[in-house]
A = this chain, B = another copy of it.
Amino acid sequence: MKLSKLVGERYKEVPNGAQLKSHILLLRAGYIKQVSTGIFSMLPPAQRVSAKIQNIIREEMNRVGGQEVLFPVVMPRELWEMSGRYQTIQEELLRFKDRTGHDMLLGMTHEEAAVHMVMNTVKSHDELPCMIYQIQTKYRDEARPRGGLIRVKEFLMKDAYSFHTSQEDLDVYYKKVYDAYNRIYKRIGLKNFISVKSDSGIMGGKVADEFMLVTDSGEDRLVLCDKCGYKANMEVASGVKTPNLEGEMKDLEEVFTGNAKTIEELCHYLNIKEEETVKAVCYVTSEEKLVIAFLRGDYEINEKKLAKLCKSEIKVADTDKFGLVAGNIGCVNLTVPEDALIFYDISLENLNNFVTGANKEDYHLKNVCASRDLKDVVFDDIALVKEGDCCPVCGEKLRLTRGIEIGNIFQLGTKYTKSMGMKVSMPDGSSMEPIMGCYGIGIGRALASIIEEKGDDKGIVWPMTVAPWQVHFCPLRLDDENISAVADELYKKMQEAGIEVLYDDRIVSAGVKLTDSELMGMPIRVVISPKTMANGTAEVTMRETGETNFISLQNLLSELKAIIEDEVGEIEKNL
């Protein structure tokens, strides 16, 4: 490809509103163009990377027996009513009416379509396990698109669906896909990724793992144990609370605390530590039932876990409406409506002599002891893990970090096959609803994640396996006929040798060429100039390391091919 003809422009300036490294570099290097909020066009270099990522994914899906199919983007309401998701998914699901007035929607995931495809076609246990996958456009009516290709409304996704006759069979297959995912991320050149236990969210099901690129720019909070390998998304993580205050029980005492309403104010007023207090957070369920959760003052509530316990979505309550004394709500002598749901975090278990609200304006209770004052109480794990908490498996201090979700795999159970009525016949003549797994990777987000991990202050750094071109060829002084003749010849020969080459055929300064090449991120840069020509060499620089060698023009093609092979080999070893 000649750069002069490549569609796309390169920019020096950081584009307005772009903050994430990948977003900035994709715009600056001419890879993407925004069409609407969260909606982008992919320019030729991005499309080339995307195609390479897709092919790697395809190879790995085929390796675990996947069969590629294609489901439609637009689906009828009826299909999603079968699973119940037409009702349960909120505004993220884009609904519209077609010209005949029929209710349609844009697919944000394709569980229903997958079951629709196999039901009545896959009928017998001996056709299972089977896995179908597609690479198809998805649309999610995302409330807050951000970060370029990281969180978008429209995106290309590989989604896969497997069907099994037993949980054991799903477990075995799930592990295979888990391994395939690890291979995929390694093959596209990522290094710093992990898998964490996660919440299955709108998919349903119980077991779920997320693959995370560990990076400070990530939206997801992760909880890791460096000793035993415990890894979880904050949404589902557990930690052992420290310190554990079990001092000798003192007598209950009501104290005047005046305007001290927040934990901070209370601690200041009474000169105590946050961990000596217990706070209340109040929500309502979607049926407007009151929910109160009590947790130690130094913890924050894990809303996902709380919602799960409530079996409902929850939102922050208007405490006045329920006659509660905001700022003085406490876990002793609390009066609430009969249908209210009260939860106690495990941080209260064994906690002695803490301060909590007295359920009375301007007063708190001192020396509350869980074992004495909270009778018949069940303690739940409903607080977010915080710095200092210990690993629930091995007891080591946990480490908190952030990540970008680059893929997820779920065990769905029979949620979809049951609701949609898919059955297969079993050897004993009975029939069963197959157990499903589902497995997703967003192509655009994977592409952006590579930039997040490897990009530097000069620009993008592509791994050899997914680079739009392997070589960026920058002949300097193309106004010199000698140079331009040699350059054209070399370009031709590289192409003939099967090297993917982007040829900067413009007559512009060395500065512009080299800066553009660093910005665009091809793994190998080849420069020829009057100086190198005088020595019969080309200057070959690796984008990632900056390592430069002068290679004789005679050996250039074979050396380049060797470098490309080595780089791919380096990435693909130890899969």
Contacts and interface: CB of A to CB of B under 8 A. Distances in A.
A39 interface: yes
B113 A6 contact: no
A69 B98 contact: no
A72 B130 contact: no
Given A94-B96, A118-B7, A121-B7, A43 B69 contact: yes
B5 A65 contact: yes
B9 A121 contact: yes
Interface in A29-73: 30, 33, 35-36, 39-44, 46-48, 50-51, 65, 67-73
Contacts of A154: 72-74
Contacts of A6: 67
A361 B473 CA distance: 83
Given A33-B116, A67-B6, A130-B7, A141 B47 contact: no
A40 to B, nearest CB: 7
Interface string A146-162: 00000001101000000
A394 interface: no
A99 B141 contact: yes
A79 interface: yes
A387 interface: no
Contacts of A215: none
A556 to B, nearest CB: 25
A75 interface: yes
B73 A7 contact: no
A252 interface: no
10 contacts: A6-B67, A7-B67, A35-B79, A36-B102, A41-B70, A70-B156, A73-B139, A98-B141, A98-B153, A99-B141
Contacts of A179: none
A127 interface: yes
Given A7-B130, A141-B99, A117 B41 contact: yes
Interface residue tally on A, bucketed by range: 35 or more
A404 B134 CA distance: 29
B44 A68 contact: yes
A106 interface: yes
Contact of A33 (B43, B76, B117, B141): B117
Contacts of A84: none
A306 interface: no
A35 B116 contact: yes
A157 to B, nearest CB: 13
Contacts of A79: 35-36
Given A96-B96, A121-B30, A143-B99, A39 B7 contact: no
A127 B68 contact: no
A347 to B, nearest CB: 37
A105 to B, nearest CB: 10
B9 A72 contact: no
Contacts of A65: 5
A68 B47 contact: yes
B41 A72 contact: yes
Contacts of A50: 70
B4 A74 contact: no
A471 to B, nearest CB: 18
Q: Which residue of A30, A67, A94, A106 has the most chain B CB atoms within 10 A of its CB atom?
A: A67
A5 B153 CA distance: 35
Contacts of A8: 121
A122 interface: yes
Nearest to A50: B70
A101 to B, nearest CB: 11
A7 B50 CA distance: 27
Contact of A76 (B35, B44, B117, B156): B35
5 cross-chain pairs, A with B, having the tightest CB-CB distances, nearest first: A96-B96, A42-B70, A36-B76, A44-B67, A9-B121
A132 interface: yes
Contact of A4 (B47, B70, B127): B127
Contact of A7 (B40, B48, B132): B132
Interface string A452-473: 0000000000000000000000
